[in-house]
Amino acid sequence: MLGYRLVTNQTPPGGLPVDKLYIYKSVDIAKEFYLAVTFDRGRNSPVLMMSDDGGVNIESKANQLQRFWFHLSTGITPQILAYIEAQFGFSDSEMGSVSQILNQLVKMFREKDAILLELNPLARTPEGSFICLDAKFNFDDSARFRQPDLFSLEEHSPDEKDEHEASQLGLSYVRLDGDIGVIVNGAGLAMATNDLVTLCGGKCANFLDIGGGATKETLSKAFSILQGDSRTKGLLINIYGGIVRCDMIAESILAAYAVTGGFKFPVVIQASGFENILLEADFEAAAKTIVKLTSN
């Protein structure tokens, strides 16, 4: 498996590279269960999901999942536990272990700002003990400031270096497969810009959203990321002035220009007077200009 790509229902179409293996002792399994705690946004409530048919291809068994909605303040109530014991046929001794697992999951879900805690499979051995053979945990990115120890455990591949460095400064960076760099503020504006560039015949190299709290430091990092991307042939800067100071954006662009000794590719923005920086006030005209400049 090492050195190859793993393709499953939960990976991108091209799969993910395998560079580590976790090896565990062989376990005799009498029964496999699926167990997860997540949010049901339709009900604005956390929900416990269980199935006595865990293991692979759980996505195709969604209709077999039992759902139990609960409040974080009360956790898994005795009524829910009684129903689970009857529904899944657990003995009293087994239910003691299951109850402990459920309570620990809810505690982690609440204290660690989780959005998904999934045990699959939770295996019951012939002796009646329970062992988690695989798990998937997702945590809320917005809670990074509350969970520094947890997020410090993240591992990043070389391909994710720019995304990680950008996220540390509050930037949202997504690598795409085009050659036109884009700096915007706001996810909606990013998608609209990407759509218009595509409509004009170009392809964006990235989705770089500086948000509404951009500073000179974050803008400098944004330019650094795009200047270091060998695929980038041009840069389109599209800023909505309603949520960020445009004078600060302009100062940051000029500062980046000075630090780098000039941009190595054409930049289309609302500024002029510098080599390789072009003025274009109209959104559609700006997209057409950057596509034309990078198609040569």
- pLDDT the model gives residue 105: 95
Give residue 270's pLDDT. 52
Residue 45's SS3 state is strand
User: Distance between CA atoms of 120 and 36, rounded to whole angstroms?
Assistant: 8
Confidence (pLDDT) at 60: 67
Q: Is 156 helix (H, G, I), strand (E, B) or coil?
A: coil
Mean local confidence (pLDDT), 132-154 = 89
Q: Which of 5-14, 22-31, 255-264 has the lowest mean pLDDT?
A: 255-264
pLDDT value at 219 more than 80: no
Look at residue 229 and tell me whether its pLDDT is greater than 50.
yes
The matching CATH number, chosen from 3.40.50.300, 3.10.129.10, 3.90.1150.10, 3.30.470.20, for 23-151 is: 3.30.470.20
Look at domain 162-294 and name its CATH class.
Answer: alpha beta
Query: 3-state DSSP helix/strand/coil percent for the chain, to nearest 5?
Result: 35, 25, 40
Q: Quick check: 216 and 248 in contact, CB under 8 A?
A: yes
Predicted pLDDT at 272: 43
Residue 64 has pLDDT above 60, yes or no: yes
| Contacts with 166 (C-beta within 8 Å, 6 or more apart), sequence order | 172, 173, 208, 221, 222, 225
DSSP string, 166-221: HHHTT-EEEE-SSSEEEEESSHHHHHHHHHHHHHTT--BSEEEE--SS--HHHHHH
Q: How much is the CA Rg of the chain, to the nearest whole Å? A: 25
pLDDT of residue 109: 96
pTM over 0.95: no
DSSP H or E segment with residue 107:
helix 92-111
CB atoms within 10 A of CB 281: 8
Whole-number Å distance between alpha carbons of 48 and 122: 14
The predicted structure's pLDDT at residue 83: 94
Alpha-helix residue ranges (DSSP H) falling in 114-160? 148-151
Domain ranges of the chain: 23-151, 162-294
In angstroms, how far apart are the furthest CA atoms of the chain?
A: 79
Q: Token pair 């591992």 is at which residue?
A: 155
Least confident of 28-42, 227-241, 258-272: 258-272
Phi then psi for residue 14, to 5 deg, are -80, 0
Instruction: Please check the confidence at residue 152 and state whether its pLDDT lies above 70.
Output: yes
User: What would the pLDDT profile of 206-217 be if each residue is shown by its tens digit?
Assistant: 888 887 766 777
Percent of the residues in the chain that have a pLDDT greater than 90, as a whole number: 40
Q: pLDDT (tens digit, 9 = 90+) per residue, 69-107?
A: 999 999 999 999 999 999 999 999 999 999 999 999 999
pLDDT of 126: 93
With cut-offs at 50, 70 and 90, classify the pLDDT of residue 273: very low
The percent of residues above 70 in pLDDT, for the chain, comes to 89
Task: Look at 23-27, 199-203, 220-224, 228-232 and tell me which has the smallest mean pLDDT.
Answer: 220-224
Strand 114-124 and strand 31-40: pairing?
antiparallel
Catalytic residue numbers? Answer: 34, 118
Average pLDDT of the residues in 204-230? 78
Cβ contacts of 197 within 8 Å, gap of 6 or more: 178, 180, 182, 203, 204, 236, 287, 290, 291
Residue 274's pLDDT is 53
